[in-house]
Every structure is written in structure tokens, then in C-alpha cells.
Amino acid sequence: MHLKSLAFVLLLKLITFSDALPDEKQEVDNGDLHDKDDSTDTILKMNRGCSEILLEGDLLLPRTRTAMKCYTETSSCLWRKSNNGNVEIPFVISDNYDAGEKDTIVTSLKSIEAKTCIRFIPRTKQRDYISYEPRYGCSSMMGRMGDKQVVALQRFGCVQHGIILHETMHAMGFYHEHTRTDRDSHVRINWNNIESFNAYNFQKQDTNNLNIPYDYKSLMHYGRNAFGIKDTDTITPIPDASVEIGQRKSLSDYDILRINRLYKCRN
């Protein structure tokens, strides 16, 4: 290839890559999203082309930790209890959202407050806080990271009740349900339907299951065809393959119990 032509191609690729970087004002065509999609279907579709390094589809790779370990009551990545017995999580919402989107985020957070000791309080001068921003895709870090930590909820796709709850639970320290230590007793991972470069998304984590049964109805559970080659099934419930998994509606009863046990709520 002629040097001038090669230089043009490289420049074009550089421009394309730059355009894909997270940007609060960036919007994409989400015409491939459907109402029947569960939360993980939507999250994975929204995160296509994201330039960030994501684990399990929506977990931002920690830059201040060598490993993602967030599962004990004394863990430094849990939000702290205040003297009133509640766990207060300071937050801000970007002004790049419209009034309706802000209301959806606040309403979702209130649904967690209603059944737990978690309280989301508007940030004033607190050092550690969550910032909800319309960056590219839907993503979060695992647990309290320290200082400002972004929960990315891109407009026109991610600002949905179930997705807001899903990403917020990550920020509170919860893994995906399908990565539990005991998952192989409840689901079969169909490795042949997963490209080798996506296999890491199904690695089990060293989780504390809090003596709570495996929850197919958890808002944190992947859908059947997550990362599947041509939408084939990657996760099959066992022994009953017909059990429904993956949803986008609300926290399950076990999700609520999981929050209350981890944070030692009295609810």
C-alpha cells in the first residue's frame, strides 16, 4: 500500500476510535433494543464498542486495586454505616440528564431505600460518592472505590429502573449472580457457545453468598444468551432448563435480603 494511502487509513481509524470514547453528550442509535430484552441484554448491547476495559460486560476494571474482592462485612469497599444505623451513600446526578431522567434515577434509588437501611443522600462535601453520568454504555465499578466513582448510564437505553438498580448494586459491592462460587450446582455454562475471548466473563468469583439460596430471579443474573455466539444460550438452569433467568423489572426478594445481610440492616 502506498505510504500516503496507509497514513490516511491509520488516521481514519484513529478518528473512529476517538469518536467511540466515553462522552457525556454522546448518543448512539439504539434501534436494536427491544422491550423483551432483560437488563443484561440491554446492558451488553449498550456497551458494544465501549473503549473502557469491562469485566463481565459492565464492570469497570479497578485502577486502584489489583483484584476485585468485595464480599465481607468488614471490606473496605463497602459503604460505611452512620451513627443512626443507616448506610449513607452520597450521590450526584449529572445536569446533562433531563428532568424526567433525573426523576427515574431518584425513584430507582428510593426503591432500594424502601426495603433496606441504605440511604442515598445528595452529596455536599463527602469525599466518597457516586456520580450518575450519561457516559457511553451502562457500567459501574465494584463497591466503594474512594473519591468520585462514576456509574455510567447512557441516555436512551441505560436510564431504566432495572438497569439503574443493577449498576447501583455493583457500586454497593455485589457481583453478578451467575459468578457465585456455587453456580455450577444451579446453572450450566455452555462454553461451546461462547467465543474464547469472552470466556473470562463467566469466571466464578470468590463470593460470600451470605447463606442465601441461588437466585434465578435476581436482577444481577445474566440472561440466557449473554455473550452467546449468534444469540445462542450460554447459561442453562439445572436441573430444570425451563426456569426463567434474567429480568429488568425490580430487585428480587433475595436481592433485598442480600443487601440487608451484607450491610447488617435490621429490616
Give CA–CA dist 101/107, Å, rounded: 10
Plot region of 75 (φ>0 → left; ψ -120 to 50 → alpha; else → beta): beta
Distance of CA 135 to the CA centre of its chain: 14
23-173+256-262: CATH topology is Collagenase (Catalytic Domain) (3.40.390)
Identify the pLDDT of residue 21.
Answer: 36
Which residues have C-beta within 8 Å of that of residue 170, sequence separation ≥ 6? 58, 59, 140, 141, 142, 143
CB 195 within 8 A of CB 139: no
Residues belonging to the active site: 167
Check if the beta carbon of residue 138 is closer than 8 Å to that of residue 156. Answer: no
pLDDT in tens, the chain (267 residues): 443 433 333 333 333 333 333 444 444 444 455 555 566 667 766 656 555 555 655 566 554 443 345 654 555 789 999 999 999 999 999 999 999 999 999 999 999 999 999 999 999 999 999 999 998 888 998 899 889 999 999 998 899 999 999 999 999 999 899 999 999 999 999 999 999 988 988 999 888 899 999 999 999 999 999 989 999 999 999 999 999 998 878 999 999 999 999 999 986
For 60, phi then psi, to 5°, come to -70, 135
Angle between helices 161-172 and 39-46 (to 10 degrees): 80
Return the pLDDT at 205.
87
Pairing relation of β-strands 129-133 and 87-93?
Answer: parallel
pLDDT at residue 52, as a whole number: 57
